[in-house]
Structure 1
Amino acid sequence: MLATSVRVCRMSRPGTLAAQRTAAITRHMMSTSSSARSSASGPGPASDEAPVLFESKGPVRSYILNRPLKLNALNEPMLNILRPKIEEWCQGKLAKVIVGRGVGRAFCAGEMLKDPETRSKAIDFFHREFEMDYILAAVPKPYICFMDGITMGGGVGLSVNAQFRIATENTVFAMPETKIGYCPDVGASYFLSRIDGEIGTYLALTGEIIRGRAVFEHGLATHFIPSRRIPALLESLASLDDPTYSQIDELIEECRSEREPEEPVTAFVGATRVALDSAFQHNTVEKIVGELQTVSTSSEHEEVRKWAKQTLAALELRSPTSLKVALAAIRRGKGRSLLDALQMEMNIAAAYCHGESPDFLTGVSAVLVDKIKTRPAWSPDKLEDVNDSEVLKKFFSTYTPAEGNAPTITPPDYLGDRNELVDPMQYALPTEDEIRKMVDGSHLRSGATEITLEELVAKFEDMRRGSTECERKFWRLFSANVSLRTTSTWIRSG
């Protein structure tokens, strides 16, 4: 049965989860003894089954990551199994909808690679992984990914550019690569640079997590539903003959629920959000840290001072080189296509795998092997000792396909000209940039010279569903005055 293939549970306590999160991402360069097995058609959590399962029901074709004891972390055998099936579905006529899920309490918690000393194999893994991420982003039919559980690293790459990304109360999202001396990848420079304000920059540098409904509220998921409704949603999808994008959106919307009183609220609101955007807008890590230091002692809001101190403590534990590489990648990713961003990240991965920074292997050894509780021995050890020009040269110029020392991310021919991918934000909440343009009159559908809350909600409801969540976001945005001029009627210049 479809229902039995999806296992959900709540996350463990914060300390345990943090350890699991760190261990998951460090598997980027750690070994695994797993070997590929042939695919299976039925679901099941047994560890001796195939690491990826496949299901066909009606128009729906599902892949199910099936390594629950390893939190479904990607490895070479899984990619070897997954890509041919996805390509078959992309080109086939019977497959109308593609669904991604995971067995157990994770969708996918990262990646696993073989011997970290075998650099050529590490580069090859990244290459195939990034191409798989692009294929799923460019798939020429609806792609739905259930981020029900831990979704980190490689799991983010598989999910975050899907047209339909479904978060639940179990979702735990992070890109924690800077914790092990590496840089956020799998398209992070593309998607983190496009979410509201500087939240993406914060997530890229700190590696901190966001949970549950907040993943939806900040645009990393397009929908939020209770996990208990997933089986019914899958059955409804399977009952359709040839579902359209709009029909799928409506089915998912029917499963949503209003916020429960006990649900945690995102921390990125109000004065904290204003402080975050202000601090992380800078183009050097030193300036980010400098403003956080000022805010940590001078802010009039106690919660902001506390947040700034916690953020400074997190950044202090990270690799100084990784922080600078991550910031440079995020800034460059904002103006690039997904394909170009993935190629840039491929070049960065090649630089790390060729030893341009010792911090990658240092972080893996310290965090996973030795399991130290203190700061790893990064080299250089301080931000001021990391030369920005050298970072740009080593990680953004030296390794490229043209130089012959980095592979090319090449979309398969069957995708055709995919320069214009389906907008991954089409079914998500409107971004703050969209709202801002609607208010100041620069949006294509702005209309009149003044707009009220009700009119604003109606306009976005006409463009996408979820008016209640839209209205809630509008109030949060305007009450925080995030780069917007607000009045009681939100009058804009005409």
Structure 2
Amino acid sequence: MAEVGGVRGASAGRDGADVLVEVRGSAGWLTLNRPRALNALTHGMVRLIDAALARWEQDERIAYVVLDGAGERGLCAGGDIRAIRDSALTDDGEAARAFWRDEYRLNARIARFPKPYVALMDGIVMGGGVGLSAHGDVRIVTERSRVAMPEAGIGFVPDVGGTRLLGRAPGELGTHLALTADAMTGPDALYCGFADHFVPSERLPALRAALDGRQLADVLDAFTVPAPLVPESPLAQQRTWIDACYGPIDGADCGPAAEEIVDRLADCGEGAAKEAAVRILGHSPTAVKVTLQAVRRARALGTLDAVLDQEYRVSCAALTGPDFVEGVRAKLVDKDGEPRWSPGTLGEVTAEAVERHFEQHFEQGSQ
């Protein structure tokens, strides 16, 4: 173990570091180490991961990089949204914007990293955790994986390149996941393009021990389940009604408005569709409409860099509205589960209000 380091924080694991940076043989290991906070990502963690990747990119001794999370609950629950809310309330969002600039740069670095980047996506992988893992080369899920971009539920919009991933999912599955904030199972993540390999969780300890710089292809062959033997994706089984409810019909050039999607879901006769309509109506109406546009625009933008630039604009705009602060209050601060969205219905959200999220209000610098 030639290199050991970390960044300290109040919610760190027992060794006092929020990220463990190690070299095991010829593999660089990054372990998110805030298990009590489900490894939620802070600005300091982003900087340290970025610095480690920059160093290992030039280090010929490093054959590949492995990302893992401490604890039994998951890889990463996302960015530290309490801290982002505090920034909105205390410094006009300056700290939040600085965090996003560095976080999105890190997402781009991971996507173009010249060595294999292996992400162990066991358990909960949400928001910023998706940004740290799903842009890598080798993305491993288990039967315990729950992968999601749940931002609409707190008055925010998917970011960290998530709108690109959602936009590239088969059919309208990405639209469905974005608007409902639903989580994917491991097989769902494989089907939707968020992951590449399935490993039973009972085999993870042995897999971790093997990822020490040995030939990566040999390790994967030894531990991953062949595609025909992976359990079927529940979302794949629901493609028919999802595509019908979220997608364009009758030769239309663009998809339906959010209000029409909800109506289709409620009227299609599928119990799961009706439940999806209820979930969407419980989210921030503004976030739902902006999310719908962001996913559709991401499909046309093509490159991850262009999508991250768009997401930076959208994130900064969302920070200035009332719903993000209110959503985090209701879910994490007061925990009353009763957010008071403004405006309160989809019909009250104007096209102008949606469009302002895509205008350049602040210096971008996401790349």
> Same fold, TM exceeding 0.5?
yes
**What is the letter of the counterpart of residue 210 of structure 1?**
M
User: How do 1:167-246 residues align onto structure 2 when only pairs under 5 Å count?
Assistant: 167-238=141-212, 240=214, 243=215
Equivalent residue, structure 2, for 1:382: 345
- C-alpha separation between the residues in 1 aligned to 2:202 and 2:23? 21
Deviations 1:48-104 (CA, angstroms, capped at 9, x unpaired): 521100221222111011111110000122123222111101122111101100111
Identify the range of structure 1 (106-115 vs 45-54) with the bigger mean alpha-carbon deviation.
Answer: 45-54
User: How do 1:323-362 residues align onto structure 2 when only pairs under 5 Å count?
Assistant: 323-336=288-301, 337-353=303-319, 355=320, 357-362=321-326
CA contact (8 A) 2:47 2:102 kept: no
CA contact (8 A) 2:155 2:286 kept: yes
Deviations 1:430-481 (CA, angstroms, capped at 9, x unpaired): xxxxxxxxxxxxxxxxxxxxxxxxxxxxxxxxxxxxxxxxxxxxxxxxxxxx
- C-alpha separation between the residues in 2 aligned to 1:350 and 1:46? 31
Equivalent residue, structure 2, for 1:154: 128
SS in 2 for 1:334: helix
Residue of structure 1 aligned with 2:366, choices 403, 409, 413: 409
- C-alpha separation between the residues in 2 aligned to 1:267 and 1:338? 28
User: How do 1:28-427 residues align onto structure 2 when only pairs under 5 Å count?
Assistant: 36-37=7-8, 46-104=13-71, 105-112=73-80, 113=83, 115-116=86-87, 117=89, 118=91, 119-238=93-212, 240=214, 243=215, 248-257=216-225, 265-270=232-237, 272-281=238-247, 282-295=255-268, 299=269, 305-336=270-301, 337-353=303-319, 355=320, 357-374=321-338, 376-392=339-355, 394-399=356-361, 405-410=362-367
- C-alpha separation between the residues in 2 aligned to 1:144 and 1:395? 34
**Closer, same or farther in 2 for the Cα pair 1:269/1:83, shift >3 Å?**
closer
- C-alpha separation between the residues in 1 aligned to 2:52 and 2:227? 37
Deviations 1:331-370 (CA, angstroms, capped at 9, x unpaired): 01112200000010001111122x1x21111111122222
SS in 1 for 2:240: helix
- C-alpha separation between the residues in 1 aligned to 2:313 and 2:283? 21
Quick check: which has more Rg, 1 or 2? 1
- C-alpha separation between the residues in 1 aligned to 2:167 and 2:212? 35
- C-alpha separation between the residues in 2 aligned to 1:56 and 1:74? 21
Deviations 1:19-63 (CA, angstroms, capped at 9, x unpaired): xxxxxxxxxxxxxxxx9439xxxxxx8435211002212221110
CA contact (8 A) 1:90 1:140 kept: yes
SS in 2 for 1:182: coil
CA contact (8 A) 1:180 1:319 kept: yes
Equivalent residue, structure 2, for 1:446: none
**What is the letter of the counterpart of residue 219 of structure 2?**
L
Unaligned runs of 5+ in 2: 248-254
CA contact (8 A) 1:47 1:68 kept: no
- Kindly state the Cα deviation for residue 202 of structure 1 after the two structures are TM-superposed: 0.8
> How many percent of aligned residue pairs carry the same amino acid?
36
SS in 1 for 2:114: coil
Deviations 1:387-442 (CA, angstroms, capped at 9, x unpaired): 123311x111242xxxxx233122xxxxxxxxxxxxxxxxxxxxxxxxxxxxxxxx
- C-alpha separation between the residues in 2 aligned to 1:307 and 1:329? 24
- Kindly state the Cα deviation for residue 216 of structure 1 after the two structures are TM-superposed: 2.0
- C-alpha separation between the residues in 2 aligned to 1:239 and 1:140? 16
SS in 1 for 2:103: helix
- C-alpha separation between the residues in 2 aligned to 1:216 and 1:101? 18
CA contact (8 A) 2:28 2:64 kept: yes
Equivalent residue, structure 1, for 2:250: none
Q: Report the TM-score, using the length of structure 1 for normalisation.
A: 0.66
Q: Report the TM-score, using the length of structure 2 for normalisation.
A: 0.88
- Kindly state the Cα deviation for residue 289 of structure 1 after the two structures are TM-superposed: 1.2
- Kindly state the Cα deviation for residue 258 of structure 1 after the two structures are TM-superposed: 6.7
Deviations 1:119-169 (CA, angstroms, capped at 9, x unpaired): 111111111111111111110111100001110011000001111000012
Extract structure 1 runs of 4+ deviating beyond 6 A.
Answer: 258-261
Deviations 1:299-348 (CA, angstroms, capped at 9, x unpaired): 3xxxxx21111101101100110001101000011122000000100011
